[in-house]
Structure 1
Amino acid sequence: MTSGRLPPCVKNVTDRTSNPFGLRPPFDRSDPDDRTAVFGYGDANADFHVVGDYPGVHGGETTGVPFTETEDGLAVQDVVREVGFASGPRNELALENCFWSYVHMCSLPNGRRPTDEEYAELERFFDAELRAINAHILLPVGARATDRVLREYTTQRHRFDLDMAALHARDIRGRGFLVVPIQEPVEWTDGDREAIVSKIEALLASDYRQTKGVATTVG
Structure 2
Amino acid sequence: MIADRFPPCVKNVTDRTSNPFGLRPPFDRSDPGDRTAVFGYGDANADFHVVGDYPGVHGGESTGIPFTETESGRAIQDVVRAVDFASGPTERPTLDNCFLSYVHMCSLTDGQAPTAEDYATLERFFDAELRAINAHILLPVGERATDRVLREYTTQRRRFDLDMASLHARDIRGRGFLVVPIRDPLEWEDREREAIVSKLEAILDSDYRQTKGVATLVG
- One-letter identity of the residue aligned with 1:127: D
Structure 1 residue 13: deviation in Å? 4.1
Cα distance change, pair 88–114 in 1 and its aligned pair in 2 (3 A): same
After superposition, give the CA deviation of every residue in 1:159-210 in whole Å (9 maximum; x if it has no partner).
0001000000000000000000000000000110000000000000111125
Cα distance change, pair 25–209 in 1 and its aligned pair in 2 (3 A): same
Partner of 1:28: 28
Other structure's SS at 1:51 match: strand
- One-letter identity of the residue aligned with 2:154: T
CA distance in 1, matches of 2:14, 2:44: 6
- One-letter identity of the residue aligned with 2:160: F
Alignment of 1:93-108 (within 5 A): 93-108=93-108
Partner of 2:199: 199
After superposition, give the CA deviation of every residue in 1:124-168 in whole Å (9 maximum; x if it has no partner).
000000000000000000000000000000000000001000000
Q: Which runs of 5+ in 1 are unaligned?
A: none
- One-letter identity of the residue aligned with 1:137: I
CA distance in 2, matches of 1:190, 1:8: 44
Cα distance change, pair 88–138 in 1 and its aligned pair in 2 (3 A): same
CA distance in 1, matches of 2:87, 2:100: 14
- One-letter identity of the residue aligned with 2:201: E
Alignment of 1:1-219 (within 5 A): 6=2, 8-10=4-6, 12-219=12-219
Q: Which runs of 5+ in 2 are unaligned?
A: none
Structure 1 residue 14: deviation in Å? 2.2
Other structure's SS at 1:199 match: helix
Structure 1 moving runs of 4+ over 4 Å: none
Structure 1 residue 7: deviation in Å? 6.4
CA distance in 2, matches of 1:13, 1:70: 31
Contact 1:175 1:212 in 2 (8 A): no
Structure 1 residue 10: deviation in Å? 3.1
What is the RMSD computed on CA atoms of the aligned residues? 1.1
CA distance in 2, matches of 1:9, 1:155: 25
CA distance in 1, matches of 2:129, 2:149: 13
Moved more, 90-99 or 207-216: 207-216
TM-score (normalizing by structure 2): 0.96
CA distance in 2, matches of 1:155, 1:164: 18
Instruction: Tell me the matched-pair count.
Output: 215
CA distance in 2, matches of 1:71, 1:209: 32
Quick one: percent identity of the two aligned structures? 80
Structure 1 residue 95: deviation in Å? 0.2
CA distance in 2, matches of 1:75, 1:104: 20
Cα distance change, pair 21–13 in 1 and its aligned pair in 2 (3 A): farther
Moved more, 58-67 or 11-20: 11-20
Structure 1 residue 6: deviation in Å? 2.3
